Amino acid sequence: MTHEEKRAWIMLVVSAVGYAVYATVVLSRVDGEPLAATPYAGVLLWTIGGAIVASIVAEIAMGVVNPRASRVRDDRDREIGRLGDHVGQAFVIIGAVSALLMALAEWDWFWIANVIYLCFVLSAVVGSLAKVIVYRRGVPQW
């Protein structure tokens, strides 16, 4: 498994777990109130920060476990990285357009923030999943 494939796995797992923690904590705070009235901002910031720290720690651990692994990116790695980024980028655009429309419709900030966060997570998960699949099955020939 190449260094770049391991990085894709880290991003995939950390993003999914981080969002699952966020959703679990927010949903556990509902207490009969409307979901939009649930305190979410602190949890959102902590889970984003925690995911960043977890990714850094996992990459450091990956380097410590196998210090002599090659970190050289070849053409295949660059092509796979570009493909995964293009696949994931669609969700960033979907999130931005959705948030814009929600803001224009004067939706509650809770929903706007959550659609942006969800689309960022989907971008990371789907983009990383695409990279892992391509590493396993090869670059598609169009």
pLDDT (tens digit per residue) in 9-42: 999 999 999 999 999 999 999 988 899 999 999 9
Confidence category of residue 132, pLDDT binned at 50, 70, 90 = very high
Q: What does the longest C-alpha to C-alpha distance in the chain come to?
A: 54
Share of the chain above pLDDT 90, in %: 73
Determine whether 38 is exposed, middle or buried from the number of CB atoms within 10 Å of its CB (0-12, 13-18, 19+).
Answer: middle
Per-residue tokens: 100: 């814009």
| Whole-number pLDDT of residue 71 | 73
Residues 61-93 have pLDDT tens digits of 988 888 777 777 788 888 889 999 999 999 999
